[in-house]
Amino acid sequence: MSDSAARRFGLVCLGVTALGWGLNWPVLKFLLSEMPPLTARGLAGLLAALALAVYAMARGLPLVVPGRKWPALLAAALLNVTAWMGLATMGLRYLGAGEGAMICYTMPAWTALAAWPVLGERPSAGRLLALLLGMGGVALLVTGNGVSLDWAKMPGVFMILGGAVLFALGTVWFKRHPLGLNPVASVAWQVGLGCLPMALAGPALEHFDFSQVSQAGWAAFFYMAALPLCLCYLAWFAALAALPAGVAAIGTLAVPLVGVLSAAFFLNEPFGLRQAAALALTMTGIVLAVRTGPRRI
């Protein structure tokens, strides 16, 4: 494949990733109207992990984890999946899908901040500004009339912000303790191990009757398992292989944009001046976070 063809392929994969991950926000919000959060995320994640493992075996990719790598793998699964997906999903019970997408994608700025104590990468002025812009976007989302807080949203805000911070810690942990696995195998293990506690806790805590789920609900469930957690991860790794890392990272800017616009279109969530300003602040912060480098200390 020529360089230009590889680049076009990478851009297509990046588009698939951004579209699938962005659309998952309104899909998940709809699914939560029919299925409780731990059950929904946990079982969909186990199904996705199984599919990724089968794909890896079909491609002849090794799935064996060296014994010394298990502690790092478990820590990454706990932070990147259990905490991240669990808190983000539960947070959507209090927030709109578009609001959740915008808050989650303050992740790059939190990652830059977490890299300071863990990796010795002091955040540049641009990355500190990115964090301030992202938090400014969050502040706009949670204010009602004037500057008063919409307290009904605050549990969801804290949950999703907590998930974003823990995901950032997982990212720098993964960089400090690389697993050395094939990316597909790594995702299969992390998603499977990370979703297992949610899948086990769901039936014990939520007492859910699966017969209540409609056909549309099951379609949303299988969409979440098949596209965001399987196809989009495969497309993301293909994009990383074909494109410069900076281009791929900036391409993920489309995820919160797709999430916000699709939530407004499919779920009739409000999208006025306040939401547009919050989106602009958040996306500007993401651009700064991925384009400005750290300083070593």
pLDDT tens string 150-160: 778 889 989 99
- Cα dihedral sign, 292-133-170-52: negative
**Does pLDDT of 195 surpass 90?**
yes
pLDDT at 74 over 80: yes
- Phi, psi dihedrals of residue 143, rounded to the nearest 5°: -95, 140
pLDDT at site 264? 92
Query: Exposure of 23 by Cβ count < 10 A (0-12 exposed, 13-18 middle, 19+ buried)?
Result: buried
Average of pLDDT values for 87-112? 86
* pLDDT at residue number 246: 61
* Closest to 29 measured CA to CA, from 93, 81, 82: 93
Q: Outline where 106-182 has alpha helix (H).
A: 107-119, 125-142, 154-176
